[in-house]
Amino acid sequence: MGVDVVLKQVERPGTSPKRRRLAQVDAVLDGSDLFAHICESSNLPMLNRVDPYGTLILTPQDMPQFLSEVDAERSSVDGDSERDILTAIRRLAERCADEVSMELHLEGD
């Protein structure tokens, strides 16, 4: 039931949405379900929308809110493992925020 966080580069040759291509740039894998549990217990709106069985796609425009929620959770978690995964996810979100051609995919099982 983990939620992997995958940074993807979006390529759109032309104007047709059918020609849209995604290339994986980097990822944080949630093999221990840490991020899934953080999202499940979160009271923050964006993290609470994460579906452990579906995919939530975030764009650079979503990153300010996502980063603030990740920071809020990171400051409130007790364990080093939780803090480490949130730090790694934050790095991907920062990269997504810096480039308009990126998306952050939160992929459940």
Average pLDDT along the chain: 93
> What stretches of the chain adopt beta strand conformation (E)?
3-11, 21-28, 55-58, 102-108
pLDDT in the model for residue 19: 76
Nearest-CA neighbor of 108 among 43, 50, 67, 60? 50
Q: Of 8, 90, 106, 103, nearest to 53 (Cα)?
A: 106
Q: Nearest to residue 103, comparing CAs of 8, 5, 1, 3? A: 8
Is the pLDDT at 43 greater than 90? The verdict is yes
Domains and CATH numbers, the chain: 3-108 (3.30.70)
Residue whose entry in the numeric block shows the structure tokens 């979503």: 62
- Tell me the DSSP string of 54-71: SEEEE-GGGHHHHHHHHH
Tell me if 33 sits within 8 A of 90, measured CB to CB.
no
Per residue in 47-89, pLDDT (tens digit) is 999 999 999 999 999 999 999 999 999 999 989 999 999 999 9
